[in-house]
Structure 1
């Protein structure tokens, strides 16, 4: 994949388009850099940790049996990002954007994009944790958009500045989708167990015998 083929040819074409657009619109370099920085660990991880705390406190106060499962799944998904990204980068050894060969120091940490994966998983998992507390459909749609736009913006900013190939970003979006699917599944399981507990009179306040 990294050496040639139809995908790489398309990658070169898309990268070239971004390079021409960046040269023609230098005023957008600043906003693109800001978007790129959203993928920094210092920005993305605190956001996720805040959502983990909020979801955990809310779930425990509600008396949910598996209140800890969605927050734990989100934390594990975030922890897997650097591990998976590092392993794939070492295995693929892709040169820097616009280059055909590795640099003189042999560094080839470009496929997939760690910043894209970090921001996508952090923002996406935070949205999934907060979603159960949002009742109105319009607000839920706004939350989906708020989670998707940063992920798209980070990827676009990274390619705009030549920090990554377009396929680096696309691969990280695929990785994030798979990890976020596990977080979403954890939420479904927790809610299903809670619903079953309410139907059977188990869980939450129903566990307390008023005669005690």
Structure 2
């Protein structure tokens, strides 16, 4: 049974969420503050960590940084009540894999949980997906061979892979990868073009990074037959 660590100090959120996770078949440990969350990661590592940013004693961002420093590679999903884009970017830079903004729909959160656990299994087991990413080591692999990426190219691929199957707007990519957006996204198009070439993607009929006209890009990484 997969083990989920839920670090959330608000019982009105932690109780129904933990019940829902258990109904999904997960074993759930609840921590009410940052220090308890750190203690719960010692020994047998959880398969997934759900961290509220606003935890007592140690906030979720600091907990995330520390568990990454200690070598925990399990997926981390952060919960934030803050609407500031900067907070989510800082959380991802701290080592989180995904985020959900409160108030959230339970169905959406459970879908994110399933996706992170599936992705984590693919990375640990190698899987049969053509593209794999090691966010901790900042390495990307295409069919088992490491792909030489610049820092921006890796960050771009990381964000796209994090949102696998969903369309990522151009504005989101500019804000997360370049920390700014002033109307022009030409540099994004250039990086997408180079990234596609390095992944062996056909620019006219891309398989992995698909353009959604007028919106952004969608990352697809289906197992090869």
- Answer with 1 or 2: which has the greater Rg: 1
More strand by share: 2
More helix by share: 1
Instruction: State TM-score, norm by structure 2.
Output: 0.29
Instruction: State TM-score, norm by structure 1.
Output: 0.30
